[in-house]
Structure 1
Amino acid sequence: MTWTQVYNPLGNIGLSALVAAIPLFILLYMLGVRRSKGHHAAIVGVTSAVLLAILVWGMPAGLAISATLNGAMFGIFPIVWIVVTAIWVYNMTVESGEFEIIKNSLASITDDRRLQALFIAFAFGSFIEGTAGFGTPVAITAAMLVGLGFNPIYAAGICLIANTAPVAFGAIGIPIVVAANVTQLDMMHISQIVGRQLPFLSIIVPLWLVVTMCGWKRAMEVLPAVLVAGICFAGTQFITSNYVNPYLPDITSAVVTIVGLLVFLKVWKPANVWHFPNEKPAATGGVKLQYTTGEVLRAWAPYIILAVLVFLWADDKYLKLKLSLLNIDKAMPWFTISWPGLDGLVMKAAPVVAKPSPYPAKYVVNIFSAAGTAIFLSGLLSLFIIPNYGFGRAMACFGRTIKQLIYPIFTIAMILGLAYIMNYSGMSSTLGLAFTATGALFPFFSPILGWLGVFLTGSDTSSNALFGSMQKTAAQQIGVDPNLTVAANSSGGVCGKMISPQSISVATAATGLVGEEGTIFRFTLWHSIAMILFMAVLTYLQAYALRWMLP
């Protein structure tokens, strides 16, 4: 028997939205005020959401529990699968001693922590976001920065902030593709608008990172390199998203930024080398490369293989390069599972949809084509390159990695369970409808809605799937270009990535800060708020006074 969603159970959309936000307030309070451990905040948040779904929104208890379990399983696979494999590859390079070579090779380019952050957190992280997405870049880059000697809290925090710039075009542009699919709008048009919003943020993110690390005075010492990174990334992002396609902006921007920084640092060095205050004094005269070119390439090989494989894994329709082995997924009878007790049993209703329609609940077990599998395979292939590190040691390391990540695994599963119960109960739609009731001010709140969606789900893709149709409908009602509000959902969503409990769990797992999720949340919260307010004002101006900026 089906159940139809109710979006205004209390008879007042503002009051209903306020009650729907209670699980979010709980997360904010426990992480931001009490600094609770992530798994504690997650279990309280998801429990409150289930109770509200049953008692206020009238969702049958069986459906509520099934939706929560569906979300938890999605958290475990494919999200946790990515995190575990990424940290495993890093742990192997550390255990084998190869990471010492990586540290020396990077220090020989620059021993300055500010510039290392630009290379790893910003540029390399953007490349990984463009190829894999879904938590992979933060997991890899945060672990690398800690290995280099970064303060763990700053390593986690700046990797989360750096991940802002590329998120809208992550995983070969999948957030834009999903936004176009759910709204039936032109994909390239959405890409062009996002490409006329995000570059304003992308150009200042490198400076934002450096100022966060060391303050304005020290940031000015590396301003030339910061400008090179920002201009290379933002300029390439604008050109690719507007004149090429939405699949490649992250990859092209990252490559141009890395090359630009490498070339620039051949002719320019900062007057002072900066390290964190609690580190040993920076060496004078620079760091000498202590290894041969072959040894350096061997040490970096696991990450080179990883980058190549996740690139090949990303999209078989667009790249035409995915290995035929991946088609095994489609031949498996369990490739797509109709989630028991949920699939087709929840009905969406007006005004979220034009006519009542079933809310599907499919669980996709695409084990061979998942990004985590590409990372796992890169680890196995690396065993042929890493000296004196066989399969037995690798599997023992894999087991230790899972044990290391027990609490983050639980937290991620609970946070995805929270997202799913809010979606299937209609609570997320209640929040969205409250924003759409703002009338002519809606363009200001449009990116904030995307920000909320990413906070809830940890994914710009999921936020676009959740709120894309609402953005289009609300814009049409007030006479604003719907392409703008749909694009703003994605552009605003990137600002919520750094405070999403799912993303924070990944960052704490990668940096050994499990249990310090509240500390990282407080670290990133004000950065997130400042960025989303900037995006909200920009979208409002583009809707009216700056309409000429739109394609």
Structure 2
Amino acid sequence: MLTLLAILPIVILIVDLVVFRRNILITATVVAVVAIAIAVGVWQIEPLLVPASFLKGGLVALDICLIILGALVFLNLLRSLGIIAAIEYHLGRISPDSRVQLIVLAWLFGSLIEGSAGFGTPAVIIVPLLVFIGYPPVFSVAAALIGNSVNSAFGAVGTPVRIGIGELATPEIIQTGAGLGGIVCVIVPVLLLGMMTARLREGRDFFVDALPFALFSGIAMAVPYYFA
């Protein structure tokens, strides 16, 4: 019962926005009221903590907005200076193979950005880059978000690990999480390659020929992921 109450605000948010397509401000207000009622009425949280929680949430949201704003400014700066064209040129020099370019951008470069900034910044930067070099917009969004999955543990210089799981007193949980994350690290670039193969409706050879590079890029992430 408590679990259902805990997820009720999230369910209301999804249903209101996706099913009923209501205004986001109205939905957010309803969700906030429900969350406050559950927190105070069920979990007996001190009423004074409610405005403090709102303030903390607002500051976190402001932090994220500033990071995303900085990423957009950075992207427009790259575009105005012609650096995006240079990136496209050097990608072609690294490999003219579009499969390799996809993995380098969506997985490897996206992981680098995630480690330095976090908060979804890779999607903001990688999606336009993929579109600029010729990938369809929907495919670019999907590839960037999938590439920015397991590497989020390194987000913002390892904040989720240092502040989150790093404070757990059970090494077994940390080791298990690192092992599972390492496995996913190998799966993600292979999945990106499979997506591209399906998108272009290519045959088995198109997938198999680039599979060694996909596996290598996954292992290259899995090893530091596990030991870090």
Q: What's the TM-score bracket when you normalise by the shorter of the two chains?
A: 0.7 to 0.9
1:476-527 deviations in Å (ceiling 9; x for gaps): xxxxxxxxxxxxxxxxxxxxxxxxxxxxxxxxxxxxxxxxxxxxxxxxxxxx
Matched, 1:218 2:189: no
1:208–1:92: structure 2 CA closer, same or farther, 3 Å change rule?
same
What's the offset of the Cα at 1:76?
0.5
Name the structure 1 match of 2:111.
126
Matched, 1:23 2:9: yes
**Conservation of the 8 A alpha-carbon contact between 2:190 and 2:214:** no
2:191 to 195, 208, 216: 208
1:109-508 superposed matches below 5 A: 109-110=94-95, 113-179=98-164, 181-186=166-171, 192-215=175-198, 217-218=201-202, 220=204, 221-234=206-219, 236-242=220-226, 245-246=227-228
2:86 to 89, 101, 116: 101
What's the offset of the Cα at 1:89?
0.7
Residues in 1 aligned to 2:96 and 2:23: alpha-carbon distance in whole angstroms: 34
What's the offset of the Cα at 1:61?
4.5
**Conservation of the 8 A alpha-carbon contact between 2:99 and 2:210:** no
Name the structure 2 match of 1:354.
none
**Conservation of the 8 A alpha-carbon contact between 1:176 and 1:191:** no
Residues in 2 aligned to 1:222 and 1:57: alpha-carbon distance in whole angstroms: 52
RMSD: 3.2
1:183–1:154: structure 2 CA closer, same or farther, 3 Å change rule?
same
Q: Secondary structure at the match of 2:150?
A: coil
Code of the aligned partner of 1:131: S
Residues in 2 aligned to 1:108 and 1:52: alpha-carbon distance in whole angstroms: 57
1:495-534 superposed matches below 5 A: none
Residues in 2 aligned to 1:198 and 1:64: alpha-carbon distance in whole angstroms: 35
**Conservation of the 8 A alpha-carbon contact between 1:90 and 1:144:** no
What's the offset of the Cα at 1:151?
2.5
Highest RCO, 1 vs 2 (Cα 8 Å, sep ≥ 6): 1
Residues in 2 aligned to 1:35 and 1:95: alpha-carbon distance in whole angstroms: 37
**Conservation of the 8 A alpha-carbon contact between 2:123 and 2:148:** yes
What's the offset of the Cα at 1:169?
3.7
Residues in 2 aligned to 1:104 and 1:38: alpha-carbon distance in whole angstroms: 42
Code of the aligned partner of 2:192: L
- Identity in percent: 28
Residues in 2 aligned to 1:193 and 1:163: alpha-carbon distance in whole angstroms: 21
TM-score normalized by structure 1? 0.36
Residues in 1 aligned to 2:29 and 2:212: alpha-carbon distance in whole angstroms: 43
Aligned residues: 226
Structure 1: tracts of 5 or more residues without a match: 1-14, 247-551
Code of the aligned partner of 2:102: A
1:81 to 66, 77, 80: 66
Residues in 1 aligned to 2:19 and 2:212: alpha-carbon distance in whole angstroms: 36
Larger radius of gyration: 1
**Conservation of the 8 A alpha-carbon contact between 1:211 and 1:219:** no
Normalized per residue, the structure richer in helix is: 2
What's the offset of the Cα at 1:29?
2.3
